[in-house]
Structure 1
Amino acid sequence: MRVLGLMSGTSHDGIDTAVVDWSMDGGTLTGRLLSLGERRYPDELRARIVAALPPHQVSMGEVCALDTLIGREFAAAAEGAGPADLICSHGQTLYHWVEDGRVEGTLQLGQPAWIAERTGLPVVSDVRVRDVAAGGNGAPLVSYLDLLLLNGIEGRSGALNLGGIANLTVREPAIAYDTGPACALIDAAAPPYDVDGRLGAAGTVSRDLLDELLAEPYYRREPPKTTGKELFTPDYVTSDLPQADLVATLTALTAQTVADEIRRHRLDTVVVSGGGVRNPTLMRMLGERTGARLVVSDELGVPSDHKEAIAFSLFGWLSAHGLPATVPSCTGADGARILGTMTPGSGPLVLPEPLAEAPVAISFL
C-alpha cells in the first residue's frame, strides 16, 4: 500500500513529503521509499504562520484563513509528490495547550478537505488529538517508528530528533519525550537558521547566560513530557550579547540539555535525525558532551530530513489497517490508540482488511 506522509514541523518553513510503499511479511514491515520531497511555504504565508504563534494573539478569522491557506499548500505538496493510495497529513501545529504539565489540547491547521479535493485520495489527519484525549501528550508520536528502528541495535540505544524542538526515544525501557529546544531558539537568534553552524562556531559561549537558561523548570520535570514554541518563543531569550556569542550559547543550551538526557539513560548509541544534523557546531558540541556513538538515521535507510514525513506515512498505513500507532509509555496515554480522522477521496472509502498483529521490526529499501 502506497501512503504519502505530509509533515510540517516546529520550524514551520515548509512541507516534507514521503511516499512509501508498505508491505508486511510475518512481523517485519518493509518500506520502499518511492519519492521524497519538500515544498517551501510562500514567504507571505510563513510570515502569517509565525505571526499566529504564541505569544501572539490572533482572531478566529485569521485561524479560519490559515486553516484554508495551509490546507491548500498541503494539497499542492500532495499533488506533486507522486502516485499514492492514501495520504496522512500532520498539518501545521499552531498551538499545544499545556496546563500544570498536562496537555489539554493540540491544534494543527491545514484543512484535509483541500487535499482530498485536489488529489481524489482519502486523507488521514488530526492524528495527535486522539492520544491527548486518552490522557497522553500527543507527542512524541515518532517514538513508534523509533522503537522499530532501534530494534536490533546492540547495547543501550536511543533515537534523537533535532527539529525546532528536540525529542528523545529510549528503547529500554521504552520512553520518549521532548528534551527542550533543538533549533528553535538558534533559528530565532539567527533567522532563518545558522547556516552550517558558522555563527555558533565563531561565537563564545556565555557561561552566565547558559546557567540562567538551564534553570528553566521544564528540564527538571519527569517524562513523559512535551513542549513547544508556546514555551520556547522567539522572545524567550533577551540578551545584549553579540549575535555570534548568543547563537553559540543557544547552541550549547541545546547540546547540554540533550546530552544530560542521553547520559541519564546511559545510552551507547543514538540515532540522530532532523535539521539539526546539518549543524556541525551543534553536532560537535553534542558529541563532546556525551560518550555515545551518534549515528545519522540515513545509515539505517531513513533520510534524516524526511524521517517525520516517513513516520506519518507509517501512521497512515497503521490507521488504514486498524492498528494503533502510539506507545503509551512514550506519550503518557492510558493505552495505545488508532490515530486520526478520515476524509474520503473522490470515490467510496475502501480500507484494507484489519490486521490482527502489529509489526515488530521494520526495514527500508
Structure 2
Amino acid sequence: MLVIGLMSGTSYDAVDAAAAVLRLDGDTLLLRPLGMVSTPYDDALRAVLTRALPPAAVPLAEVCRLDTAIGRAFAAAAVRADRELCDGQAELAASHGQTGYHWAEGGRVHGTLQLGQPAWIAEASGLPVVADFRARDVAAGGQGAPLVSLVDLLWLRGRPGRAVALNIGGIANLTAPDGTAFDTGPGCALLDAAVREFSGGRAAYDADGALAGRGRPRRRLLERLLAEPYYALAPPKTTGKEVFHTGYLRAAGLFDGVRPEDALATLAELTARTVADAVRSVGATEVIASGGGLRNPVLTRMLRERLAPVPVHASDVLGLPAAAKEAYAFGVLGFLTVHGLPGTDPRSTGARRPSVLGSLTPGRNGFRLPPAAQRAPVRLVVER
C-alpha cells in the first residue's frame, strides 16, 4: 500500500509529508521510503497558532478557524506529496494533525485535541484519511504519547544491546526496548520560545545554534529550571507546551537581565541534561536520534558529551531520515489501522489495552478497507 504520513510537531513550523510503500510479509512489516516534502505554515497561520497555544485562552470561533486553516495546510501537503513522490498513485493519507491541547493533570491524560480537520485532506486529495490517532489511546487510559513508540519497538527490535529511539522536537521523547516510553521534557520548545521573545517575534528559532554557541550556561538559572517537578515523575508520562512556554521562562527569571546568548546556552544545556538523564535511566547502550533538534549543533554536541561513551546516531543510519522519521511513523500507524491492527503498546503509554487508532474519513471513492491482517507484525524492516 502506498501511504502518505502527515505530521506537524510541537515546533509547528511546517507540515511534513513522507511517502512510503508498506506491506506485510508474515510477521514483518516492510517499509520502502519514497521521500518527504515539507510545506511551511504561512506566516499568518503560524502567528495565529502561536497566539492560540497554551496558556492562551482562545474562543471557540478561533479554534474553528484554526482547525480549518490547518486542515487546508495538511491537504495541500498531501496533494503535493502525492504528485511529487507518488505519481498520483497514493492510496491512503495518515494525518497526525496539529496538537492544540494535551490535557495532562495529576499524572494522567484526560483528553487531547488535534487540529486539522481531515475532511479537507480527503476532499483535496481524493484519498481516504486516517486521523486523530491519540484520542483512542487516551480513552483506553493511556497517555496518548509518545505515540510512535510501537513503531520504534518494531524498528529497533533485534539491535544488539539496548538501542533507544530518541526524538527531539519541541518536546523530546524516547522509547526503550522493554517498551518504556515517555516525554523527557523540552526539546526545542523553550529554546524557540526564548528566541521569539528576545527577537520580538522576528526569529522563530536559533539557526545553527548560533546564539547558544556564543553563550555560557548560567548555573543558578539552570538549577531553577531543573527543579521542575515533571522530571521526577515516573513513566509513562507526557508533557507539552501546556507546561513549557514563554510564561514558564518568564517565571523562572530567564528574561531578567540575562544575555540572550547565555539564556540560549542555558536552555540547550537543560535539554541536553534532561534528555541524557532520561536515556541513562533506561540503560541505553546506543541512541538512534531524530527530529529537528538534531539541526542544532550546540544541542547535539552537549548531548553527545553528556551521554559519552554511549553513541548517538541519526536515524538516517538505519534508513529513516531524521527529519522525516515521525511522518513515516504516522504512515505506519495509518497502515496498521486500516488493516485492523493495534497501533499502541500499553507498556509505552500506560493504556489498559492495545488500541486500533484513529478515525476514518472516506476519500473520493469511499473507503474500502483491505482484508484484516491475520497477525500483527513483530518487526519493521526499512528497505533500502
TM range (shorter): over 0.9
Aligned to 2:278: 261
Deviations 1:311-342 (A, max 9, x none): 11001100010000001010110010000000
| Secondary structure class of the residue paired with 2:96 | strand
User: Which residue, 186, 189, 195 being the options, matches 2:194?
Assistant: 189
Instruction: State the distance in 2 between where 1:2 and 1:319 align.
Output: 14
Q: Is residue 308 of structure 1 aligned with residue 308 of structure 2?
A: no
Aligned to 1:178: 183
Aligned to 2:200: none
Aligned to 2:374: 356
8 Å contact from structure 2 (residues 166, 172) kept in 1:
yes
Q: Is residue 87 of structure 1 aligned with residue 87 of structure 2?
A: no
In the alignment, residue 357 of structure 2 is paired with which amino acid?
Answer: L
Instruction: State the distance in 1 between where 2:2 and 2:62 align.
Output: 34
Q: Is residue 140 of structure 1 aligned with residue 146 of structure 2?
A: yes
How far residue 234 of structure 1 moved from its aligned partner, in angstroms, is 2.1
So what's the TM-score if we normalise by structure 2?
A: 0.93
Aligned to 1:333: 351
Aligned to 1:282: 299
How far residue 46 of structure 1 moved from its aligned partner, in angstroms, is 0.4
| Secondary structure class of the residue paired with 2:247 | coil
In the alignment, residue 41 of structure 2 is paired with which amino acid?
Answer: Y
How far residue 289 of structure 1 moved from its aligned partner, in angstroms, is 1.0
In the alignment, residue 58 of structure 1 is paired with which amino acid?
Answer: V
Identity level (%): 55
Q: Is residue 105 of structure 1 aligned with residue 111 of structure 2?
A: yes
How far residue 165 of structure 1 moved from its aligned partner, in angstroms, is 0.2
In the alignment, residue 233 of structure 2 is paired with which amino acid?
Answer: R
How far residue 25 of structure 1 moved from its aligned partner, in angstroms, is 1.5
Cα RMSD, aligned residues only: 0.9
Aligned to 2:39: 39
* Runs of 4+ residues deviating >3 angstroms: none
Instruction: State the distance in 1 between where 2:94 and 2:372 align.
Output: 18
User: Which residue, 152, 163, 169 being the options, matches 1:157?
Assistant: 163
User: Which residue, 173, 180, 184 being the options, matches 1:167?
Assistant: 173
8 Å contact from structure 2 (residues 17, 81) kept in 1:
yes
| Secondary structure class of the residue paired with 1:190 | helix
8 Å contact from structure 2 (residues 128, 366) kept in 1:
no
- Greater alpha carbon shift after TM alignment, 250-259 vs 186-195: 186-195
The residue correspondences of 1:241-256 to structure 2 (distance < 5 A) are 241-256=258-273
In the alignment, residue 21 of structure 2 is paired with which amino acid?
Answer: D
How far residue 49 of structure 1 moved from its aligned partner, in angstroms, is 0.6
Instruction: State the distance in 2 between where 1:237 and 1:253 align.
Output: 12
Instruction: State the distance in 2 between where 1:198 and 1:355 align.
Output: 49
- Greater alpha carbon shift after TM alignment, 318-327 vs 232-241: 232-241
Instruction: State the distance in 1 between where 2:117 and 2:353 align.
Output: 28
Instruction: State the distance in 1 between where 2:35 and 2:306 align.
Output: 36
Aligned to 1:347: 365
For structure 1, the residue ranges without an aligned partner over 5 or more in a row are none
So what's the TM-score if we normalise by structure 1?
A: 0.98
Number of corresponding residues: 364
| Secondary structure class of the residue paired with 2:97 | strand
Deviations 1:284-303 (A, max 9, x none): 11111113110110000001
Aligned to 1:230: 242
How far residue 197 of structure 1 moved from its aligned partner, in angstroms, is 1.3
| Secondary structure class of the residue paired with 2:363 | coil
How far residue 360 of structure 1 moved from its aligned partner, in angstroms, is 1.4
User: Which residue, 332, 338, 344 being the options, matches 1:320?
Assistant: 338
